[in-house]
Chains A and B, each alone.
Chain A
Amino acid sequence: MRQRVVVAGLVVVLVAVLGLAFWLPGRGRPGLGGGAGGSVGIVAIEGVISDGSSSGGLLGAVVGARTVVEQLRQAEEDGNVKAVVLRLNSPGGSAAASQEIARAVQRLREAGKPVVASMGDTAASGAYWVASAADKIVADPATITGSIGVIIQVQNLQELYDKLGIDSQVIKSGPHKDMGSGNRPLTSAEKDIFQGMVDDIYDQFVEAVAAGRGLSRQEVARLADGRVYTGRQARQLGLVDTLGDYREALSLAASLAGLPEPPAVKTFTRPSPWSFILSQIQSAPYHLRLPAFQPDYWLLAPAIEPAQ
């Protein structure tokens, strides 16, 4: 009898603990999945912007334009989402992918949903392109932003190949079909072609920022020499609206949409457990990340060495 009582007591305690475990995490979490009166949608852009799907990898997170555009579309079509906060922590990435995300942000605004860009550590270059499409930009004072510019990098590996005894044979249909190849240096004509491409994408970038920020093209061009700015400098130059953190960005989005404080939140970007595990490895210093994964047309902030 005593044995039954003891074992039954233990079972009751364990079941009660399980009940508590499932009950406790849900408490005090307002707005998970969105409140009845409307919510603020959260879409994160964290990592190098590229085309295709987002992925977390050992060499750094990649933000896929297809994934982000789909998340923005879901936020646009979700009747309960009244405003969206774009959380940016990205050094930029591919030009076309940044354009696609910026266009999706514009569609959200056209659908009547205010968009607030919230800048974290870094929101530079292609990430700034995306942010400039938002209604408001909120940055931390020490955020690294700006870097409005375009870069194409081509490596000439000819001497290395010579040392290795690699002789590349190229058969091409036109004189510029292998321009940018690592087998040989660029010709002056090819440099001109690349420069023309860089200038054209740069013009598109400047126009997008000018339109998004309500600045003249000349004003943006004056700031757009490729340099990075701190959040506070960017605020003084008109590239950022408000200095503040993520919570303040959330409040701003809520007030723009007429939602009560604190707003209910619906998250459209959800990290997988696998990406969480990899994110621990990705915390490695910047210089451990492989430059070989850069796209050809690069809208990137210069590398920033972490504080020692």
Chain B
Amino acid sequence: METETGNGGHMPRDDQPMSLIELVYAVLFRPVSALGYVARARPVKEALVVAFAVYIFQGLLASARLPAELTARLPAEAGLVPGGLPASLGFPVFVTSVLAAAVGWFLATAVFHLLAGFMGHSGSGTALFAGLGFAALPLAFGATGNFILGSLAGLGSLAALTTVAGLAWSLSLVAVAIRETYGTTTGRATAVLFLPLAAIIGIIIIITVTMVIAALPLVNYFGAHSL
């Protein structure tokens, strides 16, 4: 019955179709079997609904909080704008946030699919796309925890931890989605997941070092010729 290495090729006959609510519940409480089903059934429409619901939620939360947070962080204007930055500032933040998340979803699918191919695995890009969509679900909880703890006095420093926890949960779901899509091991799926991150970190280090080296003559020049 299986014609591909991974589970993304065909849907086994014993898989019962799952509704959106069943899928959401299963991804939260039975992620391995849920993402295995997603890899086989490729419920792209449901994935789109879940992922965009999460992105829109994150975008709205960011747009609601950013003007006040930005005001607090502005070094000179903090005392200058007691009324805070206008709430309308949140709209471009919302649009940018949702678009960036959606583009990131497509790009991550493409990069992971390509890397999995390089590592000798085969599977369905559509299945991976759906899996990554569902894997975004914990990000909503991370953002929620961040907001609640960030709003409580004295717990601000813990707020970032909830975002990290949400991200870690989401990444673990991504790893499961990759594993189930390509029928590979958890170790190889994790390698597919983290290789792009390692590459990005390496590129950032190279760019930073290059910029510092390029800027050194400027620093020396203006250090000697200050106004």
- Listed in ascending order, the chain A residues whose CB lies under 8 Å from chain B are 3-4, 6-7, 10, 13-14, 17-18, 20-22, 24-26, 29-33, 42, 44, 46, 87, 89, 120-121, 245-247, 250, 265-267, 269-271, 273, 276, 279, 283, 286-291, 300, 302-303, 305
Contacts and interface: CB of A to CB of B under 8 A. Distances in A.
Interface in B54-70: 57, 60-61, 64-65, 67-68, 70
Contacts of B25: 3, 6-7
B227 interface: yes
A30 B65 CA distance: 17
Contacts of A247: 79
A289 B222 contact: yes
Nearest to B92: A273
The interface residues of chain B, by DSSP majority, are classed as helix
Contact of A266 (B79, B83, B219): B83
Given A25-B68, A279-B74, A267 B83 contact: yes
A120 B74 CA distance: 14
Contacts of A270: 81, 85-86
B217 interface: no
B144 to A, nearest CB: 5
Nearest to A25: B68
B61 to A, nearest CB: 5
B77 A31 contact: no
Interface residues of B, number: 42
Contacts of A267: 80-81, 83
Contacts of A288: 218-219, 222
A10 B28 CA distance: 11
Contact of A25 (B67, B80, B219): B67
Interface of B: 21-22, 24-25, 28, 57, 60-61, 64-65, 67-68, 70, 73-77, 79-87, 89, 92-93, 140, 144, 147-148, 151, 218-219, 222-223, 225-227
Contacts of A121: 76
A251 to B, nearest CB: 12
The 10 closest A-B pairs by CB, nearest first: A32-B83, A303-B227, A287-B226, A21-B64, A25-B68, A3-B25, A22-B64, A246-B79, A7-B21, A265-B83
Contacts of B81: 42, 267, 270
A3 B70 contact: no
B83 A18 contact: no
A14 B83 contact: no
Contacts of B21: 3-4, 7
Contacts of B75: 279, 283
Contacts of A18: 57, 60-61, 64
Nearest to A40: B82
Given A17-B61, A18-B57, A290 B84 contact: no
A285 to B, nearest CB: 9
